[in-house]
C-alpha cells in the first residue's frame, strides 16, 4: 500500500465545509464508541449498522457519505481491537482503553472509501460529491497519480493540519526496489550524544531538532498564554505554535527517512536493538532527549526500507550490549558518563558505543546461526507490520496485514 499526499487549495468557505466534514466524522466515531461502551457484545459489524441509525436520527449526519461514516466506525473499532489485543498480550501498564476524540482547532481528519469523491481527468483536481458539497479543490504536490489506475485508490483522507488541509490517497500497490550487494553487515547502537554508531566505528551526529527550536517554541507558547481565551488572536497564536511544532516533526521525520534509507542501501544486513522506548522515557532526566532522538521512528523506517530493498533488519535484545566486552565477552560495568570501554581482562580499548554496536551484530549473527538448517534465510519485515508508504512516514493502514501517512 502506498500513501501519496497533496495540499488542497480552495476558498475559506470550502475550508469551513471541510471543518464540518471532519467534525461530523469525529461525532460518528465517538457515537460508535459510546454505543460499544453501553452495550455488551457489540462487534464491528454492529457498529457499521449503527451508522445507519445515526444517519436517520441526525439530518446533518446524513450529509456525510455513507462509506465515510463506516470508515469512522472502523476507526472506533480499531481502537477497541487494539485495547483487546493489549489485554490478551498482558501488556504492562495501561492497556489503552479507547477514548473519545476531542475538538482540536488545528488537527483532525475524515476518511472516504471509493465513494464520495472524484478525480479530474488530469489528476490535478479532486471533487467531494457528498451532501456537504465542498466542491472542487486543486491539489498541490509532487506525486504523479497518472501512474496508477483509479481502481487502485482504496481510501481518500482529508487531513487538517496547522498549515492547511491535505488529501491522502491510499493506493494498492506493492513497492520493491533493487538492492546492490555491498558485502557489509552492520550493527547499530543508537544514543543521545550521537544519533547512532555502527560496528565499524562510524558515527552520525544527533540533530536535536527540538532542542534547537525550544526558544522559538517558548515564545510562541507565551503568545498563546497572553491572548484572551476564545478570541481570534488566540486562535491565530495557536496556529502559529502548531506550525512551529509541525516544522520540528517534519524535520525529524525527514532526517529519519533519509538516514534509514542510506543505511539500508549501504549494507546487506542491519542489526538493531529491540529497545522499549516507552519504558525509557519514564526517566524524567532523559525523556525529552530520547523523544527528540525519535528512535522508534528511525526503527520503523529501517524495517520498512529493509522490506523494500530485501535487506534483513534484525532486532536483538539490548541486555548487556554496553557492558560486555566484544572481544572476550567479559562483563565490564560502566556508568552512563563512561564513554570508553576498557576491558581489564583482555586489555581491549574502544569507544563505548562502537563496542555495543559490535555486540549487537554478534547477537544477531548468533541468532541466525541457531536457526534450524534450511530456515536461516531471514526475510526482511518478518516481525514488522508496516504499510509500503511513499517515503514520508509509515502508514497505519496496514495494521494486521501502520502502519506510522506522507
3-state secondary structure the chain: CEEEEEEEECCHHHHHHHHHHHHHHHHHHHHHHHHHHHCCCCCHHHHHHHHHHHHHHCHHHHCCCHHHHHHHHHHHHHHHHHHHHHHHHCCCCCCCCCCCCCCCCCCEEEEECCCCEEECCCCCEEEECCCCCCEEEEEECCCCHHHCCHHHEEEEEEEEECCEEEEEEEECCCCCCCCCCCCCEEEEEECCCEEEEECCCCEEECCCHHHHCHHHHHHHHHHHHHCCCCCHHHHHHHHHHHHHHHHHHHHHHHHHHHHHHHHHHCCCEEEEECCCHHHHCCCCCCHHHHHHHCHHHHHHHHHHHHHHHCCCEEEECCCCCCCECCCCCCECCCCCCCCEEECCCCCCEEEHHHHHHHHHHHHHHHHHHCCCCCCCCCCCCCCCCCECCCCCCCECCCCCCCCCCC
Going from N- to C-terminal start, the domains of the chain cover 2-171, 181-208+245-406
Q: Using one digit for the tens of pLDDT, what is the confidence trace for 139-161?
A: 998 788 888 888 889 999 999 99
Using CA atoms, how far apart are residues 188 and 198, in angstroms rounded to an integer?
5
| Phi/psi at 185 (5° precision) | -125, 135
pLDDT above 90: percentage of residues in the chain: 52
**Res. 366 pLDDT band, cuts 50 70 90:** confident
Q: Using one digit for the tens of pLDDT, what is the confidence trace for 231-272?
A: 999 999 999 999 999 999 999 999 999 999 999 999 999 999
pTM summary value: 0.83
Fold of the domain built from segment(s) 181-208+245-406: Nucleotidyltransferase; domain 5 (3.30.420)
pLDDT of 398 reads 33
Using CA atoms, how far apart are residues 44 and 321, in angstroms rounded to an integer?
44
Q: Using one digit for the tens of pLDDT, what is the confidence trace for 51-108?
A: 999 999 998 898 999 999 999 999 999 999 999 999 998 887 888 899 999 888 778 9
**Res. 395 pLDDT band, cuts 50 70 90:** very low
End-to-end Cα separation, the chain, in angstroms: 12
Candidates 141, 67, 149; CA nearest to 110 is 67
**Res. 371 pLDDT band, cuts 50 70 90:** low
Distances (CA, A) of 153 to 111, 113, 135, 156, 157: 13, 9, 20, 8, 11
What's the gap between Cα 275 and its chain centre? 17
Residue 382 has pLDDT above 70, yes or no: no
Mean confidence (pLDDT) of the chain: 86
- Residues composing the chain: 406
Query: Lowest-pLDDT range, 25-29, 106-110, 150-154, 367-371?
Result: 367-371
pLDDT of 378 reads 45
**Res. 23 pLDDT band, cuts 50 70 90:** very high
Query: Lowest-pLDDT range, 88-92, 224-228, 233-237, 386-390?
Result: 386-390
Helix axes 232-265, 295-309, angle to 10 degrees: 50
Candidates 357, 266, 246, 259; CA nearest to 299 is 259
Q: Using one digit for the tens of pLDDT, what is the confidence trace for 312-353?
A: 999 999 888 888 888 888 888 888 888 888 888 888 888 888
Measured at the CA of 36, the angle between CA 30 and CA 40, to 5 degrees, comes to: 170
pLDDT of 150 reads 85
Amino acid at each position: 500500500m502506498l500513501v501519496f499526499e497533496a495540499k488542497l487549495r480552495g476558498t475559506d468557505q470550502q475550508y469551513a465545509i471541510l471543518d464540518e466534514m471532519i467534525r461530523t466524522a469525529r461525532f460518528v466515531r465517538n457515537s460508535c464508541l459510546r454505543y460499544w461502551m453501553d452495550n455488551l457484545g457489540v462487534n464491528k459489524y454492529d457498529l457499521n449498522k449503527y451508522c445507519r441509525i445515526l444517519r436517520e436520527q441526525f439530518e446533518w449526519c446524513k450529509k456525510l457519505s455513507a462509506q465515510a461514516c463506516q470508515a469512522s466506525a472502523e476507526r472506533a473499532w480499531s481502537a477497541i481491537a487494539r485495547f483487546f489485543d493489549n489485554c490478551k498480550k498482558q501488556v504492562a501498564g495501561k492497556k489503552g482503553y479507547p477514548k473519545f476524540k476531542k475538538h482540536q482547532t488545528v488537527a483532525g481528519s475524515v476518511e472516504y472509501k471509493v465513494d464520495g469523491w472524484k478525480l479530474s481527468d488530469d489528476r490535478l483536481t479532486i471533487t467531494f460529491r457528498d451532501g456537504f458539497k465542498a466542491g472542487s479543490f486543486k491539489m498541490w504536490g509532487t506525486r504523479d497519480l497518472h501512474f496508477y489506475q483509479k481502481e487502485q485508490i482504496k481510501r481518500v483522507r482529508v487531513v487538517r493540519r496547522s498549515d492547511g488541509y491535505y488529501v491522502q490517497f491510499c493506493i494498492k500497490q506493492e513497492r520493491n526496489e533493487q538492492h546492490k550487494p555491498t558485502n557489509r553487515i552492520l550493527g547499530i547502537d543508537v544514543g543521545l550524544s550521537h544519533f547512532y554508531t555502527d560496528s565499524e566505528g562510524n558515527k552520525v551526529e544527533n540533530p536535536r531538532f527540538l532542542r534547537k527550536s525550544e526558544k522559538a517554541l517558548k515564545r510562541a507558547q507565551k503568545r498563546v498564554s497572553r491572548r484572551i481565551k476564545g478570541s481570534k488572536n488566540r486562535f491565530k497564536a495557536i496556529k502559529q505554535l502548531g506550525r512551529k511544532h509541525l516544522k520540528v516533526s517534519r524535520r525529524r521525520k525527514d532526517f529519519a527517512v533519509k538516514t534509514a534509507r542510506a543505511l539500508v542501501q549501504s549494507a546487506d544486513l542491519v542489526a538493531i536493538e529491540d529497545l522499549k522506548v516507552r519504558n525509557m522515557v519514564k526517566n524524567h532526566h532523559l525523556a525529552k532527549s530520547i523523544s527528540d532522538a525519535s528512535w522508534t521512528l528511525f526503527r520503523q523506517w529501517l524495517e520498512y526500507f529493509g522490506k523494500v530493498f530485501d535487506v534483513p533488519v534484525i532486532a536483538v535484545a539490548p541486555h548487556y550490549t554496553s557492558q560486555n566486552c566484544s572481544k572476550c565477552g567479559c562483563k565490564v560495568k560502566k556508568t552512563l558518563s563512561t564513554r570508553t570501554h576498557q576491558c581489564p581482562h583482555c586489555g581491549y580499548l574502544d569507544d563505548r558505543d562502537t563496542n555495543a554496536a559490535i555486540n549487537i551484530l554478534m547477537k544477531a549473527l548468533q541468532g541466525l546461526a541457531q536457526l534450524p538448517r534450511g530456515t536461516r534465510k531471514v526475510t526482511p519485515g518478518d516481525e514488522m507490520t508496516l504499510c509500503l508508504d511513499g517515503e514520508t512516514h509509515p502508514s497505519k493502514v496496514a495494521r494486521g496485514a501502520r502502519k506510522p501517512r506522507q
